């Protein structure tokens, strides 16, 4: 979970300051208002991940919500490709970045599911 917190912290910092972690950053797509909201959501995700990481068994319900959140974020990353014509915005390379983000999210989702502390009944 700490790895996920680091991932979302880096993403939040990049969005807030208009930085890039990908070589095909398109500054025209940086919108301070939306990117600040994305950064806030990343911060909340980081805090929740770190709180659950302290005791995943005790916080299993919150962990399940986080797993759903990671799944939704990953699906939305992929769906953006179909909703937004990035080429018409002058950012055709952004498609590869979006796919990469979605795949990384699904890999993290798989790790969370694989390492999930299942309740014993």
Cα end-to-end distance, the chain, whole Å: 24
pLDDT score for 13: 93
The model's pTM: 0.81
Q: Which residue range forms the structural domain that includes residue 47?
A: 2-114
Residue with tokens 């806030």: 40
Work out how many domains the chain is built from and give that number. 1
Residue 119 placed within a domain:
no
Residue 45 placed within a domain:
yes
Residue pair 1/50 in contact (Cβ under 8 Å)? The answer is yes
Mean pLDDT of successive 10-residue segments in the chain (121 residues)?
90 86 68 88 94 93 94 93 86 84 93 82 40
Length of the chain: 121
Residue 64 placed within a domain:
yes
Backbone angles phi, psi at 92, to 5 degrees: -65, -30
Residue pair 72/106 in contact (Cβ under 8 Å)? The answer is no
pLDDT score for 121: 40
Reference 74, options 27, 20, 6, 7; nearest CA is: 7
């Amino acid at each position: 979970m700490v790895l996920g917190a680091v991932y979302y912290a880096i993403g939040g910092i990049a969005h807030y300051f208009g930085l890039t972690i990908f070589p095909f950053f398109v500054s025209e797509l940086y919108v301070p208002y939306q990117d600040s909201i994305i950064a806030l959501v990343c911060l909340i995700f980081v805090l929740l991940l770190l709180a659950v990481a302290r005791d995943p068994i005790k916080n299993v319900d919150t962990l399940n919500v986080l797993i759903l959140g990671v799944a939704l974020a990953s699906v939305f990353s992929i769906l953006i490709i179909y909703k937004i014509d990035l080429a018409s915005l002058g950012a055709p390379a952004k498609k590869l970045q979006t796919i990469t983000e979605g795949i990384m999210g699904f890999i993290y989702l798989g790790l969370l599911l694989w390492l999930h502390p299942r309740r014993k009944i």
